[in-house]
Amino acid sequence: MQEARFIFENTKINIDSGAVTWEAPSNIALVKYWGKKEHQIPANPSISFTLTNCKTTTTLHYELLSSPSEKFQFEVFLDGEQKEEFKPKIAAFFDRIVQYVPFIKHFKYSIYTHNSFPHSSGIASSASGMSALALCIMSIEKKLNPELSEIEVIQKASFLARLGSGSACRSLEGDLVCWGTHKEIPSASNLYGVKFPYKVHEKFKNYQDTILLVDKGEKQVSSTVGHNLMHNHPFAENRFAQAHDNLSKLITVFETGDLLSFIEIVESEALTLHAMMMTSLPYFVLMKPNTLQIINEIWSFRKASGLHLCFTLDAGANVHLLYPESEKEPVLEFINNKLVGYCQNGHYICDTVGFGAKQL
């Protein structure tokens, strides 16, 4: 079992209390992960841009218990306010990871977390939140085992974060991270994210992601339910094969800087993700009328301007606008003149590709 190498067995706990803080970014997938097997193993490989401004900062206070506890003892605060409703997800995360980090039973915790984006923005905080928490736990492991290298810390944090929320394993490093085995990327793994190992053209440096907040409401269908609907989905096998092909094509695109092919792959991936939702049983639609309005506006703008603005979507109605830094000025003008009217309360967030998590 490959997972076995992530088990840290030590019986001696030689620290008592302290606090660690990590900041971890969100990420936006270009080839989408949609569908999984047992133990959070992805049904297909994916690749994402790591972001910079959309991030979670988490401080984990830990205090040694007189004897290990069977039930995890912790409290969680978002922006200083206690959040009982966050506890089940974190308890489930602790349950899943305890076999790899058994020392967590020896402490009680206070978790203080802050998202740089509004909680009710419709932007999922699970990728940044789970990776920040996984890193805090790895900082405790590092105190217990100072021999652990930085690379081992990041890789195991990615492994743990994946068990909290699959896409979280792509939030540790940057600027491009792949997750899931792929024949042309020998370093890629189903168990953790790895940095994209090949050449990336200058055109993709500082790529921009402006997130248009179309619908800030809670999603009607969670991604867990969505992933599960890929079991017995009539198009599943073709979809998984397509993700492999699209990742192969992106390897070439990143090398050559072929933005037109980039646009075609990325937009097709976004629409295919939503097509999978619309063709599962039960079926569901997460796009809103304004999502489609924005997509059509982007297509008209691209045709008229010759610029390289494209979109992608995650499992929601918000639209991520991707474009090269060199086209920032005209694209922002277009957003402010046209697209802002489709955003809830005119809200959008400007982000840029980034380089991963940081300890504070």
Residues that bind ligand PMV (CB under 6 A): 29, 32-34, 46, 126, 165-167, 223, 227, 273, 314-315
The greatest distance separating any two alpha carbons of the chain, rounded to the nearest whole angstrom, comes to: 69
Q: What are phi and psi of 40, to 5 degrees?
A: 60, 40
Instruction: Choose between 46 and 50: whose C-beta lies nearer to ligand PMV.
Output: 46
Smallest distance, ligand PMV to C-beta of residue 224, A: 6
Min. distance of Cβ 142 from ligand PMV in angstroms? 25
Task: State which amino acid sits at residue 234.
Answer: P
CB of 271 to ligand PMV, least distance (A): 13
Which CB atom, from 20 or from 29, has the smaller least distance to ligand PMV? 29
**Beta-carbon contacts of residue 268 (< 8 Å; ≥ 6 apart):** 246
Q: At closest approach, how far in Å is the CB of 3 from ligand PMV?
A: 19
Q: Rank residues 217 and 341 by Cβ distance to ligand PMV and give the closer one.
A: 217
- The angle formed by the CA atoms of residues 147, 152 and 157, to the nearest 5 degrees, is 120
Nearest distance from C-beta of residue 329 to ligand PMV, angstroms: 29
Nearer to ligand PMV, 230 or 309 (CB): 230
Write down how long the chain is. 360
Burial classification of residue 43, based on how many CB atoms lie within 10 Å of its CB (0-12 exposed, 13-18 middle, 19 or more buried): buried
Cα(352)–Cα(87) distance, integer angstroms: 31
Cβ atoms 34, 226 nearer than 8 A: yes
Render the burial of 134-148: b for 16+ CB within 10 Å, e for the rest. Answer: bbbbbbbbbbbeeee
Q: Cβ 147 to ligand PMV, closest distance in Å?
A: 31
Distance from C-alpha of 48 to C-alpha of 289, rounded to nearest angstrom: 26
Of 274 and 302, nearer to ligand PMV (C-beta) is: 274
Q: Is the Cβ of residue 141 or residue 269 nearer to ligand PMV in the bound state?
A: 269
